[in-house]
Amino acid sequence: MQSLQLSLESGNSHEVMEKLSLPDAEIFIMPKFLSSTCADQHFDSLLTQTPWQQDTLNFGGKVVPIPRLQAWYGDKNCHYGYSGLALSPLPWTPLLQELKSAIEQCSNAEFNSVLLNYYRHGQDSVAWHSDDEKELGNEPVIASLSLGVTRRFELKHRSRKGIKSFCELSHGSLIVMGKGVQQNWLHQVPKQPEIQSSRINLTFRKIITP
Ligand SMILES: O=C(O)CCC(=O)C(=O)O
Ligand SMILES: [Mn+2]
């Protein structure tokens, strides 16, 4: 896969994209991808209009609710799953399609699906993982848009013990995870019990269908 090419348009504050310096990975952040007014509107629409689901995982016969709510949207054939959970796509909404196009333009990548996560408060989280399911291909580009309260996004290298990093994902920010991120690193959004307010995250992905 070619490495990410970024469209940086000078004078356009939403286009300011910074590369995080992580070994063995290409990851970019645009802290102000959306203006705060736009981000507020999209947060409210997604919060109220998404059919949020409380999915469960089965750990050796024990059914455990995932500590966040989710929704999966995409093209008709985009079936996805992780840890034994199977997700069938809801059809694109105009808002999700609009966000997808804007994010495709600035990341120079294509997506056909999006996973929405709703962290209701600081007790909701996602545990250490990488998005390395085979339906995402060998070197996926995943773009992640954050709305709502700022949460900490942590990364740790898979094999070089002790090499870690983190960034704060604020309202309207976009990160683009490219070459090496899923292969060489794990990421998580840890619980932050002091946080009372909610956050929505959208990860745009490309499912490779046979
Ligand atoms: O909420 C986030 O920022 C990350 C979500 C995530 O890693 C995922 O859905 O795979
Ligand atoms: Mn992930």
Nearest CA to 28 out of 107, 86, 119 is that of 107
Segment 77-124, tens digit of pLDDT: 998 877 778 888 999 999 999 999 999 999 999 999 999 999 999 999
Domain 15-52+74-205, CATH among 3.40.190.10, 3.40.50.720, 2.60.120.590, 1.25.40.10: 2.60.120.590
Q: Where are the domains of the chain?
A: 15-52+74-205
Q: Which ligand is nearest to the CA of 182?
A: 2
Answer whether 187 contacts ligand 1 (Cβ < 6 A).
yes
Does residue 112's CB lie within 6 angstroms of at least one atom of ligand 1? Answer: no
Sheet containing strand 151-157, strands side by side: 126-129, 185-189, 151-157, 164-169
Q: Which residue has the tokens 């996926």?
A: 140
**Residue 22 φ then ψ, to 5°:** -120, 135
Q: Is 144 in the pocket of ligand 1 (CB under 6 A)?
A: yes
**Calpha distance 146→44 (Å, rounded):** 13
**Helices 36-49 & 94-107, crossing angle to 10 degrees?**
140
Distance between Cα 92 and ligand 1 center (Å) = 19
Atom of ligand 1 nearest to the CA of 199: 1
Q: Ligand 1: which atom is nearest the Cα of residue 115? A: 9
Q: Name the pTM for this structure.
A: 0.92
Beta bridge partners, 27, equal 20, 177
> Counting ligands in written order, which one lies closest to the CA of residue 202?
1
Measure 189 CA to ligand 2 centroid, in angstroms.
9
Q: Encode pLDDT of 151-193 as tens digits.
A: 999 999 999 999 999 999 999 999 999 999 999 999 999 999 9
Rounded to whole angstroms, the Cα distance separating 95 from 185 reads 31
